[in-house]
Structure 1
Amino acid sequence: MVDEQRSRYLGGDQGAPPVPPPGGYHGARRTAAAPAVPAGAETVQIDVPKTKSNALGWVALVASILFALILFGAMIGGGADPVYSVTVMVLQLIVAGLIIAALLTTRGRMLGAISLAIALLFNMATVGAVGAVVASATGSYDGVKSEAQKHEEAYPGVKGTSRGEVLSQPSLEQVQANGDELMTEIRARLTDEFGYSWKQSGQPTTRHERNGYGGESMLQQYTSEQWTTVEPVRDNDRKREIAAVIDEVLAERDMYALYPLNSSESGISSEMVAKLYGSADIEEQHTWEWYSDAFPDPLMLYVDAFDPSKDPTGAAQADREAKHQATGEPVEGVQLTIIARELLSEKDRAEFEQRMGEYPGF
């Protein structure tokens, strides 16, 4: 027989598992709860002792800071040159040794790491590079030059040109006036002969020559404005006729006849002639160029005939158009320019003679 009372679960909800018997299941264990801290008991706090940096770490830190200050002082005092001296290199090796020694010790490792960071930021390479950039930007290259070197840099003349040669030649103002007269006469002759009109571009400019000892000379290089025909000149025979008329003017002024620079006969290789003027064959060149002077007179005349239509690549046309945009000169035509070097201005003559007296034997 089935006992109906035993076949039914005893619980508050239908389908719920039976409740444990009184006293729990046989063999069951309970996790023991941690004993509560008795009220009023004192809490003991354990202090972990701090590790103090040793003397070696401090020495490395102070040395790296002092070395950085020394580098900046050397850079400010003389640019990049003193930074790369042997003394500074030895000091850097000593500082590097101290840093490595500090890193190898437990108590000096932290300060050694800080010293290493300072040394990586401020060393011969980084500070020297900054000094070189500053010197390049300001034009100050004195460095640790001797007084004799600085004296040579201040030489007012140009190495290889004697004081007598400078004083005996025409002044800057005379050359400028002679050049203006020469170009005026050439323009007038070519206008009378061929009916050309002219356009001026640019302005006369001067710049000081280098003296050959690393400094700037009192002598100057002069470049005139440019005069270019408004009309194109594309016929090669006409270019030769223009050169012949200019030769007549030059002969009247005791100057040499025009010398062609766009020919291998000038001493330039055929490859270089082709690169500069478009072709080794004169008849196919986009630029003809002549030169004349009256040596030892410093005045030099340059005559160029620009004809970019003869350049199949279009490079000459683009170059001349860029020049036109920059200076306003015509893209095509015959151009006149005066250049003269190592000129002494009349207003500088007295000072030049005085300063040259400080350089006997130069």
Structure 2
Amino acid sequence: MVERSDPPRYVSDSAGAPPLPPPGGYRGARRALLGQVPLAASTPTLPVVAGAGRETERGDSWSPSTAPRAARRSPLGWIALSAVVAFALVCVILLAVGNADAFFGATMLVLQLVVLGLVIAALATRAGRTLGAAALTVALVLNVGTLGALSAVRVAATGSYAGHKTDKQKLWEAYPGIKDKDPQRFLSQQSLEKLQSLADETMSDVRAQLTAKYGFTWVTVSDAQDRPERNGYGGESMLVRYGSPVWATTQPVTGYDHKLEVMQTIESVIEEHGWRGMIAFNDPASGVDPSVIPKMYGGATPETQVDWEWFSDEDPDPGWFYATMTDLANDKTGAYRASREQTAKRTGEPLEGLQLAVVGRYMLSEKKTDDFTQALKKYP
């Protein structure tokens, strides 16, 4: 009996093998393959060939929607930036000419709002956001608020309101004297130079007498200074306020009797130089309102006060002589000491002791007498 066996498997020929696929593959095989393999893996990236409608290596056509787009700037961004720069230039010009009032007029405020609207519109668009941010930066630095405030400060410091004043206002702004004060008074009183000389002589003698009697030593707290007086019409007069050097003892002056004796010694010396008898502002008997004395001098009576202030003048001449004392032994709260420590740290003056100073108001220098007289001829 012949045994049947399975047909032998082919080894090297095509017997029993499935037929080869037709040229170009089976219909629909590509769609099936794409359904099984991820799209990113099945379609490798090929270089883009320039030119619409041209065939790529795979036969796919190129379209403008698939090509990368160059970054574009929105016209609105350029408009906003240009408007901000132009507006800033206008503000800078107004600042340069000193026209402070223009910053706060309705026209400038409306223009500022229009510029702000353009900046906001540019920021709201993606293409104009970069230029809009640049415009916003400029607008935050150079605008009606910042430059207007700077212009107002400048005008206040220099008094340069000339662009908005009448000829009459400009004339009186240059008035050499003081409003409502007879200019002949300044010509007849002692000059600035004479007051300076009197102050130096008086304080020199006072310091010498106090040093001889009490052993005081002295330091200069501040140098002499003078500054123009305002004339009452918005300008500066030819007169000055004079302040002599301020001298201070390096030793404290304590005890009611001792302080009273020192003040009386000062009074006796200045009277020899033509000054009148001194008035104690810190004493209720001087006529000062008793309710303010404790607040000003640290106590209701001289015996309990931290500060003493005595004063003299040389009426009718304008010089004023001041002698002040600070006695921290009477400071019960420590407030005066804290204040004096801050002052001493700033000026280098002693914490307590005696200080001497001379002040003159509305002083006319001998060097300006002729100019003062000549300038008065312009005024009725």
Q: Report the TM-score, using the length of structure 2 for normalisation.
A: 0.68
**Equivalent residues in 2 for 1:18-97, closer than 5 Å:** 32-34=32-34, 42-48=59-65, 62-78=82-98, 80-95=100-115
C-alpha displacement of 1:297:
0.7
The RMSD of aligned alpha carbons is 4.4
Q: Give the gaps of 5 or more residues in structure 1.
A: 1-21, 24-28
Which range moved further: 311-320 or 291-300?
Answer: 311-320
C-alpha displacement of 1:292:
0.8
CA distance in structure 2 between the aligned counterparts of 1:177 and 1:235, rounded to whole angstroms: 33
CA distance in structure 1 between the aligned counterparts of 2:285 and 2:63, rounded to whole angstroms: 99
**Equivalent residues in 2 for 1:205-224, closer than 5 Å:** 205-224=225-244
CA distance in structure 2 between the aligned counterparts of 1:274 and 1:76, rounded to whole angstroms: 51
In the other structure, the counterpart of 2:259 is 239
Out of 327, 345, 362, which is 1:307 matched to? Answer: 327
CA distance in structure 2 between the aligned counterparts of 1:351 and 1:173, rounded to whole angstroms: 16
Out of 123, 127, 142, which is 2:160 matched to? Answer: 142
CA distance in structure 2 between the aligned counterparts of 1:122 and 1:156, rounded to whole angstroms: 39
Q: Secondary structure at the match of 2:299?
A: coil
**Equivalent residues in 2 for 1:305-344, closer than 5 Å:** 305-320=325-340, 330-344=350-364
C-alpha displacement of 1:126:
3.6
C-alpha displacement of 1:280:
1.7
**CA distance 1:197–1:62, change in 2 (3 Å):** closer
In the other structure, the counterpart of 1:199 is 218
Query: Is residue 210–residue 216 contact of structure 1 (8 Å, CA) maintained in 2?
Result: yes
**CA distance 1:60–1:256, change in 2 (3 Å):** same
Aligned residues between the structures: 330
The residue type paired with residue 33 of structure 2 is: A
**CA distance 1:119–1:42, change in 2 (3 Å):** farther
CA distance in structure 2 between the aligned counterparts of 1:346 and 1:146, rounded to whole angstroms: 32
Q: Secondary structure at the match of 1:44?
A: coil
Q: Give the gaps of 5 or more residues in structure 2.
A: 1-16, 19-28, 35-41, 45-54
In the other structure, the counterpart of 1:226 is 246
Query: Is residue 286–residue 308 contact of structure 1 (8 Å, CA) maintained in 2?
Result: yes
Query: Is residue 79–residue 141 contact of structure 1 (8 Å, CA) maintained in 2?
Result: no
CA distance in structure 2 between the aligned counterparts of 1:325 and 1:204, rounded to whole angstroms: 20
CA distance in structure 1 between the aligned counterparts of 2:89 and 2:198, rounded to whole angstroms: 59
1:181 equivalent in alignment to 2:214: no
CA distance in structure 2 between the aligned counterparts of 1:238 and 1:36, rounded to whole angstroms: 108
Q: Secondary structure at the match of 2:196?
A: helix
In the other structure, the counterpart of 1:16 is none
CA displacement, residues 294-353 of structure 1 (integer Å, 9 cap, x when unaligned): 222111111122321121233434555565566665544433221111111112222222
C-alpha displacement of 1:357:
2.8
**CA distance 1:110–1:196, change in 2 (3 Å):** closer
Q: Secondary structure at the match of 2:318?
A: strand
C-alpha displacement of 1:274:
2.0
Query: Is residue 74–residue 128 contact of structure 2 (8 Å, CA) maintained in 1?
Result: no
In the other structure, the counterpart of 2:302 is 282
CA distance in structure 2 between the aligned counterparts of 1:121 and 1:331, rounded to whole angstroms: 46
% same residue: 37
C-alpha displacement of 1:226:
3.0
**CA distance 1:151–1:305, change in 2 (3 Å):** same
Q: Secondary structure at the match of 1:33?
A: helix
Q: Report the TM-score, using the length of structure 1 for normalisation.
A: 0.71
C-alpha displacement of 1:146:
2.2
Query: Is residue 279–residue 285 contact of structure 1 (8 Å, CA) maintained in 2?
Result: yes
In the other structure, the counterpart of 1:18 is none
CA distance in structure 2 between the aligned counterparts of 1:36 and 1:30, rounded to whole angstroms: 12
Out of 346, 364, 369, which is 1:349 matched to? Answer: 369
